[in-house]
Structures are given as structure tokens and as C-alpha cells.
Amino acid sequence: MSSLKIFNTLAREKQPFVPIEPGKVRMYVCGMTVYDYCHIGHARVMVVFDLVQRWLRTSGYEVTYVRNITDIDDKIIKRAAENGESISQLTQRFIDAMDEDAAALGVCKPDHEPRATAYVPQMLGLIEALEKNGLAYKAADGDVNYSVRDFAGYGKLSGKSLDDLRAGERVDVNTGKRDPLDFVLWKASKESEPDEVKWQSKWGSGRPGWHIECSAMACDLLGEQFDIHGGGADLQFPHHENEIAQSEGAHGHAFVNYWMHNGFVRVDNEKMSKSLGNFFTIREVLEKYDPEVVRFFILRAHYRSQLNYSDAHLDDARNALTRMYTALKDVQPDGAALDMQEAHALRFAEAMNDDFNTPLAVAVLFELTNEVNKTKSPALARQLAGLAGIVGLLQRTPQQFLHAGAPGQEADGIEAMVLGRIEARTQAKQAKDFAQADRIRAELLEQGIILEDKPGGVTEWRRA
């Protein structure tokens, strides 16, 4: 089997993956800020890095996977005030919703899912180390800021010089900063803010800035230097750049060996945004599409490429997944263990080891699908189901997928209704009332049910 190569954003090239500790991988991924329902961009982050940890484990590594939860943030405070609820009530509600969405998409729970509010002491410790090293200062407004120009390596992840850089979206430019690029480590409390978001420190009452949260949680759970740090491309600057500055500025050595960033999600070739009216939450998408179809849609694109969301692409993903399930419906796997030395498995592994090249891996699954349809080989059906299972696909029975609509449409009554109409159609055909038989087929098709007549007079059905 070929060895794994990962595109390292820091190096701007694919590099052979060599873990710090042989046989073990420590990976941190920036998770969600929980003040609203997760959107399709969050779905991509969750599915992409779920794929990464699955392949690492399949490759024999012992993986420690951490994905954090940001449960303290300006937007959270604002939304809780608007709703008239506590911070903890708001965040717990959306953490529960996030867990439901992730489970529907077949995303495994991370090994650790730290919440920022539980790591404030570690954050304060990091800020003290930065102050001691001359990289943090208290401003006149009470905030503690990071002095960007005093960290020699700033800009190495984004590849920009200090003069080119601008303060990022979440970096408030205010008169208390020595330099507009400086970012906040500790925010002084405002009287209007609830006590829930006030912690005591040597700099006075306040709360952590966004960037320091991930540095503290990652270092506490994975050590001062670890193997892989991932997240969306939108986090490369300023968030990940600032994480490097904080962590390396505090500890005096490298922070992360491999940086991975998944590409943006666009909607009908436009940037997804609420202002454009093309913003979709995961649960809105799952009202229309089976969650496995959404997962498959995400995995068909390479994680570093832009992903263009559209109904046409989701419909195509559903049809393609239907083809694979249909092959397994007609040919049962033989029950033996997956053979990773078989020709298709070797090509699948080669694709996955080439920076998680899922388009090529999926192409191998389609080759297998065609072979299963042609040869009716139970051994190849086993390879198809087994390889797909590595990336979290084809884990239901074919009937469960082919009979399922969107969530909430899988009631037993649907199946009973369809079987009743199939029986009525069979009786009509036996009575040579072919017009009635055609009407029943057409009526079911209007309801999204496709009938397939098989040899021996058997009629099977599936969702359109």
C-alpha cells in the first residue's frame, strides 16, 4: 500500500505524512460557534474531517481526534439577549441540534469535544506566558492584546507580509491597540454583559478572545506540538494564523506539523450568504434529501476544492448512490472480511493516500458497482460494501435506502400503501386490465415511487 501524503497549507505542497509519535496521530479541528443551526458549510467541515480520521484509523493509526465547541462569543451573547435566555440555555440547545445533524450525516463523535468555557484557566495561563515573553499587553480600554509585529513568524500560514495583512473579520480595530493588526486575547467585561460571561483574571474581569480558545484547548488535550490541525479555508486567516502566533509565541517551538483546510461551499456558483438568500442549514437540506445523499455529495468532491451546492448536484448524487445500492440489492456480499490486497481496494487506498482523493476513490466504487452488475459476484459485492463503509457509505440495507424518502417520510404506512397498490396492479394485469395497471404505476410515480418489474412476476419498488 502507498504511504499517505497530505497537502500541508503551511508548506504549500503535498508532503509525506510522518507522525510525531510512530503509529499515533493527534488531530485538532476547529468546530462550531453554537448560536444557530449548522449550515451546509459546517456539514462539509464535519464530513471532511470525519473522513480523514476514518482513513487514518483504517490505515492502522491510533487517532486522538479533538473538535472543539465555541460556546462563548459576541454573537452568542447577542443572540441570547435577543432571545431572553441564558448563554448556557442557548448554547446547549444548538449543541444538541449540531449533534443531531452530525449523527444524521454519519459523522463519528470526536474523541474529545471540549467547550471553550471549561478551559478559561488554561487560556489565562497562555496569556500570562505571552505577556512574560513580551507578546501581550494590556491596553487603556482594559483589553489584553497580542502584539503581532513582535512575533517574527506572523504571516507564514497565510503567506502574506505584515504590510499586506489587514485585520480579519473578528478582529475589532480600536484605539486601544498599538497596531491595527493586533488582536484581542482577553476582553474586558462590559457592564451590560451577563455575569455568565465574566471571569476574574489578573487583568480584571473579562472573557477570552476567540483565537486563544483553540490554542488553549488544543495544547491542553494534544500537547504543545501535534500532528494535524484542520478547519475551513475561511479560518486560515486570521484564526489559524493567530493560533500559531499565540502557541509558538508562548512555547517557543513549532505548534502543528500539518495544516489542512477544506474549500468553500458555494450555492449555484455564488458565495453562500444570508443576504443573497442562498443560505441553507443542514436540517433544511435534510428535509428534501436523504442524509447519506448529502454525505456522498460532499465526498464526491476533493476536500480542497470548492463545493458547488445545487439541487441538480444533489439529485445527481442521489441517482449515483441509488445505482450502488441497487447493485447490492441484486447481489448479496459473501460475508467475508474486506480484502485490502484486492485490485480495487489497492486503487482505493492509493487514491485515499494521495491527500484523501475521494473523487478517485469514488470512481473505484463505481467500477466495482459496474463489475457487480455484470458478474453478480458476491465477493465483489463485499468489496464494494466494505470500501464504501470506510468512508461512511452503503451502511444500510439496500431496501432501507431505496425505500426511504427524506427524514420524516419513512413511516411504515408508506410501505404498506405501496405494497397494496402493487397488489392491485398485479390483479389488474391478471385481469388483462392493462390500462388500470398503467394508471397505478403512473399514480405511484407522481408520488415519487418507481416500480420495477422483475422476472417471475415480481415487482419491486424504490423512491425516485
The sign of the dihedral angle between the CA atoms of 218, 258, 365, 452 is: positive
The rounded distance, in Å, linking the Cα atoms of 229 and 31 is: 11
Cα first-last separation, the chain? 39
DSSP 84: T
Torsion-angle region of 106 (φ positive above 0: left; ψ -120 to 50: alpha; else: beta): left
196 is an annotated ligand-binding site residue? no
160 is an annotated ligand-binding site residue? no
- Cell numbers for 381: 459485492
- Interior angle at CA 400, CA 47 and CA 462, nearest 5: 110
30 is an annotated ligand-binding site residue? yes
Q: Do residues 286 and 328 make contact, with C-beta atoms less than 8 angstroms apart?
A: no
- Cell numbers for 377: 459476484
The rounded distance, in Å, linking the Cα atoms of 140 and 195 is: 22
Q: Do residues 361 and 352 make contact, with C-beta atoms less than 8 angstroms apart?
A: yes
38 is an annotated ligand-binding site residue? no
243 is an annotated ligand-binding site residue? yes
Containing 231, the helix (H) or strand (E) segment is strand 226-232
The total number of residues written for the chain in this structure:
464
Annotated binding site for ATP: 274
Annotated binding site for Zn(2+): 30, 214, 239, 243
Annotated binding site: 30, 214, 239, 243, 274
